[in-house]
Structure 1
């Protein structure tokens, strides 16, 4: 007796189906792999651009504010800081540029900080004589009880920088480890900082140094800000910022008119008062290298390009910032 036929697949049909499925799955995984790599690349580029924008925002703000609330007070302009804080000299009013052709530039910035309603400026209530270890103020609102802050005292003609060790009972006590308080104050008013009218202003100050740290983690160079205080380590601003260069627009006319006449990369101490604009060059790169991508670090400012290709993708930011308080009396 002959058995009835049964439904099913022949071996050839099964092998054909497996082959088709294999091809389809290979296409699916290939598409997934491509999309994943594309997503990762775009994500890293977006991260790089965010780092670049963040670095630009901080530099733009602080450079624009440089010199705010700091009277010129003759030569050398500005306030006196302890020996060794600046690469040379002990005076700063607005900016103190440090140029490098072999690596990133760095920049020192000083300004009075009175624009935060939670950290308002105040005035002195008793005459502060030279050598005083404290100043009596109308209010200690916004000052840290434990100190550790930079304070600027100015009568609009001269200014001096101090570090606090305590704030209590209407008195700011000076102290700290950076020697701001025992450093020479050659421009201190002969009769001290008076109570007016108008009284002398007492407010927080920002004394900053921007630089790129490529030593702590060479694979991830980081834009850092040093607040120039003892016991306060520099803080990261933006990751994977490979290079930072500055160019300075100078007003060199005999009678300053506020118009930039020339641009220089390396500013002398005598030219600092002529700075009217700062051109910021920032070079950011992706967090990791991309397989198959080859690129050489480009030239930036007065620093030559690299010599070895790598797999990092890069972006350059080029922006000019007006230094509003430079050149003012």
Structure 2
């Protein structure tokens, strides 16, 4: 039997490639994808910048408005329900503190600061410390049970009896248990052993440059936040003595500061970064103290926002 060898031949396989048209289509698709990814990245980055600047503005506004509101609510507080019900007297170099001066304000250009309105608040800011004994008038030394609030030389203190109040400037403090406070000048009122001694503070808020500053009688001046472009303040005036605001007026129109029972603050804030919005923003803000917002076109591409709050003066509201 004869065996034959069989030889199998595989068909030749030729190397294939891409044609010019296929290459052009692939390149076009790649460019489309690349452009889409680029636009997505740019859009996401811009959205992040916008949201980040907005969040910082809102945080700053919340902080500064809360700080101002806390001080405004306490305006005129001296341990009694209402400063208007007592007769404050001042001696030596202590600041005046009357019902008319618990809150005072200035319109743009008439008070401290470079831009916007300004406001000043005065009140007792510490808890009260009780006297050790009754205190007759015209006594240069004031004795209290202890000194938990750290009263020291040059502090302004209020001796509050709710019938009369003396403001004194401390010249010396001595004692570790019962504490003796020596002050400048002679007091005018007499006080019972149950009456209190409290520290008095005066705050002024105003804009310097683009920062909101807070000036303190005892602590000096410090910048609270940056990015404040304008501040407008109107005052709720009680015209019929019922303890509620009847009309809101700017500082120049307030005839009697004792009748101010609330304060409305509007802040114009700008983002820290420029080129946040695609074109200059148009915003509404009362720029001329007439109580009516004006439409303003920004000079840059920052993000602008207006924040407004109304605060009641706790010691004057009904």
**Mapped partners of 1:80, 1:277: distance in 2:** 30
What SS does structure 1 have at the residue aligned with 2:67?
Answer: helix
2:225 to 238, 246, 260: 238
1:314 to 304, 309, 317: 304
2:261 to 258, 276, 284: 276
Q: Larger radius of gyration, structure 1 or 2?
A: 2
Q: Deviation of residue 286 (structure 1)?
A: 1.5
What pairs with 1:29-68 in structure 2 (closer than 5 Å)?
29-68=38-77
TM-score calculated relative to the size of structure 1? 0.73
1:228 corresponds to: 217
**Mapped partners of 1:298, 1:168: distance in 2:** 58
Deviations 1:18-62 (A, max 9, x none): 443233122112101111101111111121122222222112221
Higher strand share: 2
1:154 to 154, 157, 160: 160
Q: Deviation of residue 223 (structure 1)?
A: 1.8
**Mapped partners of 1:81, 1:104: distance in 2:** 33
| Structure 2 residue ranges without an equivalent (≥5) | 1-10
Aligned length: 291
Is 2:120 the counterpart of 1:108? yes
**Mapped partners of 2:12, 2:91: distance in 1:** 109
Aligned-pair Cα RMSD in Å: 3.6
Deviations 1:176-209 (A, max 9, x none): xxxxx65x77xx325xx54x232x3112233111
What SS does structure 2 have at the residue aligned with 1:141?
Answer: coil
Mapped contact 2:78–2:198 kept (Cα < 8 A) = no
**Mapped partners of 1:320, 1:237: distance in 2:** 20
TM-score calculated relative to the size of structure 2? 0.75
What SS does structure 2 have at the residue aligned with 1:310?
Answer: coil
Deviations 1:268-327 (A, max 9, x none): 785011112222222222122335321356432743755763323222223322212138
2:8 corresponds to: none
Mapped contact 2:92–2:169 kept (Cα < 8 A) = no
Is 2:314 the counterpart of 1:324? yes
Pair 1:111–1:54, CA change in 2 (3 A): same
Pair 1:32–1:327, CA change in 2 (3 A): closer
What SS does structure 2 have at the residue aligned with 1:61?
Answer: helix
Mapped contact 1:273–1:327 kept (Cα < 8 A) = no
Q: Deviation of residue 251 (structure 1)?
A: 2.1
2:129 corresponds to: 122
| Structure 1 residue ranges without an equivalent (≥5) | 115-119, 175-180, 215-220
What SS does structure 1 have at the residue aligned with 2:207?
Answer: strand
